[in-house]
Amino acid sequence: MPRHNGIPDRWLDYNAVGKRLDGTRFVAFKVPLNQSLNSQLSPSEVFGPWELLDAVRRDRQELGLIIDLTFTTRYYRPQDLPASLLCVKIFTGGHVVPNDDTILAFKRAVRRFLRDNADNDKLIGVHCTHGLNRTGYMICRYLIDVDGMDPAEAVELFNSSRGHAIERQNYIHDLHSGRKRSNKGMSQCPLEFIKGTAGTRPRERQDKRRCDQPPHGIPEEERPTYGGFQPRESPQHGWHPRGARQHYQPARGRHPHGTFSLPRVALPPYGRGSAHPADEWVRPQYAQARGQVQRPRRPSRHYTPRWANQQSGDRWGSAGPGW
């Protein structure tokens, strides 16, 4: 049963990918999620088709086919898969032992891929929601019916490779005591293998609501303080100085996430009047570099600047016309 945010229930409790089953081409894993669902998880919990490829390549293996046993299409679609992968969808209900038609469809898909890839060692990835019960049953059923493996040996091989044991007792009982399914018609595969269409890895989107990294990628111990306050994480606005307003407004040319430049505007000459390019104010050091002469401030009736009476010898300036 899925959670309210679309992540499958107990999906985080299981390892993402197991090991290759010795002597076979099978590898089991839990269902990879599309980018929309992965955006709700922390970076360490993300598992999608590209993370699946990375995990298999770390074991120096190559994945060629994905057999999807989930009973839904909402977790990912072929356009989410890399172009190097093939996938086939076999709708398999959970909690109950699959019927003979479903088992035969699985055998046909495996046999066709092995026949088409006899010259390489590409793996067949199988998954359900957790990559455990339906996945374990189908792989073990193939090893028992087609390869002639002992049921107890097949179950033990899957459990040790997956890292988790098959949980549902009806699956285990059918593998040990149930009848072998017929392999008649296994060479015929009416199922169509669909190729992934994602050419490049999607851009990783940082979700500020679940951001686990310090601002600007600075380690926590090296993170600067803002006015004596250490930044903290807010579930609504990400990292911000403790005690500060959660909604920042640009002021005095500063911004909480960096700096920005205020546009230079043409000021009217000392109060009223139309703006003129000659009256544009710039800092003195920039004005000198640009060959401009900084215009002095005109005395007003409320203030007499010091330079207005520098020739009088008065250090602070005598009373001018504005006093």
Q: Choose, from 87, 128, 140, 189, the residue flagged as catalytic.
A: 128
- Phi, psi angle pair for 37, to nearest 5°: -75, -40
Q: Choose, from 25, 134, 141, 162, the residue flagged as catalytic.
A: 134
What letter does residue 60 receive in the DSSP assignment? T
Provide, for the chain, the percentages of residues in helix, strand and coil under a 3-state DSSP scheme, each rounded to the nearest 5: 30, 15, 55
Kindly list the distances between the CA atom of residue 130 and the CA atoms of 44, 74, 268, in Å, as whole numbers in the listed order: 18, 15, 70
CA of residue 148 relative to chain centroid, distance: 42
Q: Is 232 a catalytic residue?
A: no
The answer to whether 12 and 153 have CB atoms below 8 angstroms apart is no
The answer to whether 277 and 290 have CB atoms below 8 angstroms apart is no
Q: Is 209 a catalytic residue?
A: no
What is the spatial distance between Cα 122 and Cα 65, in angstroms, rounded to a whole number?
A: 8
What is the spatial distance between Cα 297 and Cα 291, in angstroms, rounded to a whole number?
A: 19
* Residues carrying an active site annotation: 128, 134
